[in-house]
Amino acid sequence: MPKEPTVIPRFKTETEEAEWWDAHPEVATEIMKRAIKSGKARRAVPLKAVTMRLPVPDLKTAQTLAARKRLPYQTYIKMLLHEALEAQRRSA
């Protein structure tokens, strides 16, 4: 028997929404899988793989913080780098 789709509720606040998504990561995963399968998911900008050497304590900190947010640590580092670059670009 096919699994019933999860109904995403209406939220009163962003905090309520964030808490719901944190409690239901499988829903976001399923939505993304369907978008990829249907061809609707596309990268907004091209990506290029890079290799970096980071201090081990910094890497361990990033891994710990990423785990708390339930994110892959490489994604978390990429997010932090993007935010820092945007902040620098705006202030330049």
What is the reported pLDDT for 79? 94
Residue 32 lies in a domain: yes
In this structure, the answer to whether residues 21 and 52 fall within a common structural domain is: no
Range of the domain at 57: 45-92
In this structure, the answer to whether residues 87 and 57 fall within a common structural domain is: yes
List the one residue out of 92, 8, 55, 91 whose CA is nearest residue 77.
Answer: 55
pTM, full prediction: 0.54
Residues 25-76 have pLDDT tens digits of 888 888 888 888 887 777 678 889 999 999 999 999 999 999 999 899 999 9
Cα-based distances in Å from 23 to 30, 41, 82: 14, 23, 26
Give φ, ψ of 22 to 5 degrees: -60, -35
In which band, very low, low, confident or very high, does the pLDDT at 3 lie, cut at 50, 70 and 90? low
